[in-house]
Amino acid sequence: MTGNDLAETLAAAHGLTKTDARKYVDTVFAAIGDAAAKGNEVSLNGFGKFSTKKTPEREGRNPATGEAMTIKAATKVSFKPAKALKDKVNG
């Protein structure tokens, strides 16, 4: 499912134009992205939780050459599904 598919579903369910629905979908995703960029957790009841995790700098290997290299520290976004979502997916 794509963002356009979500917008079409939202438009059909609430009598919106597809353009307006797409704006709402984009706004929701932008808000989630902004919160993650600030290091805030986003919890959507019944769906799941988006959070960030810092990973330290570490040594790794180039898989093509086997040469040692340094992998930079980074912040990763993770998603943990809620029990309701897990139950829905698993029947």
| CATH number where 61 lies | 4.10.520.10
12-83-89-45 Cα dihedral, nearest 10 degrees: 10
Are 35 and 57 in a shared domain?
no
For position 91, what pLDDT does the model report? Answer: 85
Q: Are residues 59 and 84 in the same domain?
A: yes
Q: Looking at the structure, do residues 28 and 67 belong to the same domain, yes or no?
A: no
Alpha-carbon distance of 90 to 45, in angstroms, equals 18
Q: Give the model confidence (pLDDT) of 46-61 as tens digits.
A: 999 999 999 999 999 9
Q: What is the pLDDT of residue 26?
A: 97
DSSP SS3 for 64: coil
Instruction: Provide the whole-model pTM.
Output: 0.77
Residue-number span of the structural domain to which 79 is assigned: 48-91
Q: Are residues 36 and 56 in the same domain?
A: no
The answer to whether residues 55 and 35 belong to one domain is no
Domains identified in the chain, total number:
2
Confidence of residue 23 (pLDDT cuts 50, 70, 90): very high
